[in-house]
Chain A
Amino acid sequence: MGTVTRRQLTDLPGTLGLPLALGLVLVLAFLTFGLPLLDQAVPAQRPVPAGLPYPVGAGVTVVPPPGATLDVTGTRPGEDRGTALFRVGRVRYAIAVQPFDGDLSAAAVRLRQRITGTSGHRVTGTQLAVSTAGGLDGVQGVYSAGGRDGRYAVFVAHGLTIEVTVSGADLDLGRTLPAIDASTRTLDYEAGR
């Protein structure tokens, strides 16, 4: 209070406006570009034990395809929901589990809407019935996304929807789809897990 003193006039940030502003830009640049670069520099893929069920979340498990790795950036296990992202070569194999109170056709419509809601994505071909070794019934279909192709499958059981999406270049998909389809058929629900 009182008058403006020399100390006040020469105090930060009055005299250091430009350096402080540049410092501010540097911090923002680090948050916007530096952190993503750092993220890219750290490997995301982890090996997964072959032939063993992997817990996706909410009691749902899957046996990953041989040679698959787990991408931890898309994997978030939880008690009432969860996601798992596997990489099979250059093919992306994602499974998402979440609470759902509708039936299978509603779940399929929802997944297709989400796929077509993404720019450049469209569902092609017809939808077929599919079931897992553990007895989960679902439907599967095909979609295209620009230069990539995709497969989707959806299951509804125990108040959950299990959504599977697979995407990759045509040649890569052709090589890996049999193993991924076999993996999808291992989807299972274990109560209390």
Chain B
Amino acid sequence: MSDPVRPGATAAALARQPAFWIVLALLAAGAIRIGQITTRFLATFPIATITAIALFALLAVPFWLFVSELDFLEREPAGLRVVAFAWGGLVATTVSIPGSTALENLIAKLGSPHLAADWGAALAGPTVEEIAKTLGVVAIVLIARAQVNSVLDGVVYGALVGLGFQIVEDVVFAIGAVALAGEGDQVQPVITTFLVRGFLAGVWSHTLFGALAGAGIGYLVVTPDRGRGHRVAMAGCAFFGAWASHVLWNSPLLRDGLGNGALALLAVLVVKGLPPLLLILWLVRRAHDQEAAYYVAKLATLRDPALITDGELRVLGSGSRRAAARRHAAASVGRRGRAAVRRLQRAQARLAVELSRAPAEPTEDTAIRHRAEVRTHRAALESLGHPEAVEGVRSWRHTVSTVGTTAVALAVLWVALSALSG
């Protein structure tokens, strides 16, 4: 499911595209609207607003790093990642605020207030929000088709659109909670919102739904050998999956929980959030492995151990093995070894992308430059006494660290659940 990589559009080429200016205008309009809302929040609840922005911005960092690292071999340009995030945070939110309210009102008018009370948030929000977010991935395709070469690219852009939406929506909800509490400019409702929406519900929220819908758009554009009907149907299925996951999460099902206490709250979170999480993780893994196999096969044709050894070919295609190789270097020759392995892996990935470019394109100089770059990093690694970026034997320190981190995460989760259910 990977396409040959074509050179990214230059700034001049982008400026000649009407779609680019349309997307830019939409981002500007969204920025103005969200800016107006933020200004109003700051005027009424300055401390709570600044706290909410700071907390949720911090929450965005690990998500951003994780999503950006998903496609290690063919990283998306930072500019396009920013556009995707901004679409979610500025355009999709601006559209969703009036659209979702209007749709929920229509459910109340055409159905009943009872129906709107029970299912309004479950039906209106997902319908408007998923459309607005998915159009963000379409916008990326319109302005930079050359940068969408695999289903995984669609996943990354979709997840970033979802992340932008999630962060801005969380800030809006946090300030809404402050206003509802009626206790003035207090941060307590912000902290509660952060625990619930950021910490407990953050993993299976808009980032996840956006990734699924983005995978569909990725499939639609990178599989031209399939019939158009088939591709549209697959994209439709992915969108429906994102919508259905969102509906399930917002639905009144299990609203009263499975009893009282932290365990019951955890059970509800797992029942509603885990199925889509597992589905999307499986999809991401599959897309990642297919893309990795494609690029590793390109590197294998070089048959030059100075550029990549057999052991490194095995390592480069797997995220966990790449990380294990970096840990092994750190254990053998220290932090500089870890950094050197990371630089070598990045250079090898860039070379793989270069090799995958269509042969008709005049990239000879670039290919030579990328090979030289790999050799430079190889030499740096060798000078540290660590000639090959491969995995070592799993160390007891890593096992202890993994178990310890998991235990701390579970303890924090338990404390949060207990505080909220109490």
Residues of chain A with a CB closer than 8 A to B110's CB: 42
B108, A13: Cβ atoms closer than 8 Å: no
By secondary structure, the A interface counts as helix
Chain B residues lying within 8 Å of A76, measured Cβ to Cβ, are 108, 113, 116-117, 120
A44 at the interface (CB under 8 A from B): yes
A190 to B294, CA, bound (A): 68
A110/B221 contact (C-beta < 8 A), A36-B98, A39-B105, A39-B106 known: no
Q: Which residues of B contact A193 (CB under 8 A)?
A: none
Is A145 on the interface with B (CB-CB < 8 A)?
A: no
Chain A residues near B17 (CB-CB < 8 A): 17
Expressed in whole angstroms, the minimum distance between the Cβ of B81 and any Cβ of chain A is: 20
Pair A24/B98 contact, Cβ less than 8 Å: no
Q: Which residues on A sit within 8 Å (CB–CB) of B98?
A: 32-33, 35-36
- A113 close to chain B: CB less than 8 A: yes
Inter-chain contacts of B120 with A (CB < 8 A): 76
Interface size class of A (residues with CB under 8 A): 35 or more
Q: Which residue of B lies closest to A82 (CB)?
A: B117
- Known contacts A18-B18, A21-B22, A27-B135; A113 and B142 CB within 8 A of each other: no
Q: Are B6 and A73 in contact (CB under 8 A)?
A: no
**A13: chain B residues within 8 A (beta carbon):** 138, 141-142, 145, 221
* Residues of chain B within 8 A of A39, CB atoms compared: 101-103, 105-106, 109
Contact with B along A1-26 (1 / 0, CB 8 A): 11111011001111001101110110
What is the distance, in angstroms, from B261's C-beta to the closest C-beta of chain A?
Answer: 18
Q: Are A28 and B132 in contact (CB under 8 A)?
A: yes
Q: Which residues of B contact A125 (CB under 8 A)?
A: none
- Chain B nearest Cβ from A141, distance in angstroms: 14
Q: Report yes or no: A17 in contact with B180, Cβ–Cβ below 8 A.
A: no
Asked if A77 meets B113 with Cβ closer than 8 Å, knowing A20-B19, A25-B26, A28-B26, the reply is yes
Tell me if B132 and A113 are in contact (CB < 8 A): no
CB pair A77 B114 closer than 8 Å: yes
Interface residues contributed by chain B, number (CB under 8 Å): 57
Q: How far is the CA of A43 from the CA of B120 in the complex (A)?
A: 18
Q: Contact flags (1/0) for A45-85 with B, using CB distance below 8 Å?
A: 00000000000000000000000001011011110001000
Residues of chain A lying within 8 A (CB to CB) of residue B294: 1
CB nearest neighbor in B for A45: B109
Q: Which of B181-189, B364-372, B396-404 contacts A (4 or more CB under 8 A)?
A: B181-189
What CA separation (Å) do A193 and B180 show in the bound complex?
A: 26
Q: Does A130 contact B (CB under 8 A)?
A: no
Closest to B360 in A: A3
Within B184-233, which residues are at the interface with A (CB < 8 Å)? 184, 220-221, 224-225, 228
Give every chain B residue within 8 A of A123 (Cβ-Cβ).
Answer: none
Return the chain B residue nearest A8 by Cβ. B224
Write the nearest CB–CB distance from A45 to chain B, whole angstroms.
10
Nearest residue (CB) in B for A78 is B117
Interface contact A22-B22, CB-CB below 8 Å: yes
Provide the residues of chain B in CB contact with A35, threshold 8 Å. Answer: 98-99, 102-103, 106, 128
13 other A-B residue contacts (CB within 8 Å) besides A3-B4, A113-B184: A1-B4, A1-B294, A7-B225, A13-B145, A21-B18, A21-B23, A21-B142, A31-B95, A31-B131, A35-B103, A35-B128, A39-B103, A117-B44
- By Cβ-Cβ distance, the 8 closest A-B pairs, closest first, are A110-B182, A21-B19, A39-B102, A35-B102, A31-B99, A76-B117, A113-B182, A75-B113
Q: Which residues of A contact B (CB under 8 A)?
A: 1-5, 7-8, 11-14, 17-18, 20-22, 24-25, 27-28, 31-33, 35-36, 38-39, 42-44, 70, 72-73, 75-78, 82, 109-114, 117, 119
Q: Would you give 17 A-B contacts (Cβ < 8 Å), ordered by A?
A: A4-B360, A11-B221, A12-B220, A14-B145, A17-B17, A21-B22, A22-B22, A25-B22, A32-B98, A35-B102, A35-B106, A36-B98, A36-B102, A39-B102, A76-B108, A78-B117, A109-B182
